[in-house]
Structure formats: structure tokens, C-alpha cells
Amino acid sequence: MTTLPVTIDATSPQASCCPPAADAMVDDATAQDLAKVFKALGDPNRVKLFSLITASASGEMCVCDLTGPVGLSQPTVSHHMKLLVEAGLVTREQRGKWAYYQPAIGTLANAAQAFTA
């Protein structure tokens, strides 16, 4: 029995095991924004800091109250908080010499929605 070689045209439905989903892919700008959010949450200390702020009864926390629970120095906490602010996960308000942080929950919800919509 002789088997003839089979050539599959790249445009034919048999060329791929799955139908293309390019229309569901995020655009470049959105991908950059999402990567910044997920990169900010890629560090366990930043996840802890974010969870402390979101769980705060007052809806905000002073940087002076964030150092103890995570066991980090104030400059290290400030660095982590700067990255969370840049990612849009928290907002920062300066009051005298202290910085107060409030969660920006919409950013995290929007990031999750980008993959479920």
C-alpha cells in the first residue's frame, strides 16, 4: 500500500488544531497596563500590603502602620507602595510627613474582567 504525502494549505481549517481567537486578544496598550498590575502583585510583600490596605476598617492606611505587619523597613515599604501606586492599585495622599494609601479596587476588577469578558 502506497501512501501519498498530504499537503495542508495554511489557510485551510485543518492547518490549526483550534480556531483562531485573535479577536479576543487584548491590544498592546491594554497588555502593557495589565502587565504592570500583575507585575506589581507578583511580589508577596506587595500582595500583603495591598491586602492590609483593602481590609482596613477606615479605608486607608498610613505608611507608618504598614511597616510592622510585613516586617519591612519604612524605605522598603515606601518602594513597594510606589509600585502599587504606579500600577493604579492604590492611591496616595500626603498629609504632613506621612503618606496615606487607599485601595483603588477598580483597577484589579478591570484587570480580571479583561480575561473574563
Question: pTM for the complete prediction?
Answer: 0.76
- Report if residue 55 sits inside a domain: yes
Mean pLDDT within 65-88 = 95
Query: Domain with 56 in it: what CATH number?
Result: 1.10.10.10
- Report if residue 89 sits inside a domain: yes
Cell of 20: 483562531
The 10s digit of each residue's pLDDT in 91-113 is 999 999 999 999 997 888 888 88
> Which amino acid is residue 88, in one-letter code?
G
Structural domain of residue 99, as residue ranges?
28-108
pLDDT at residue 5 greater than cutoff 90: no
Q: In the chain, how many domains are there?
A: 1
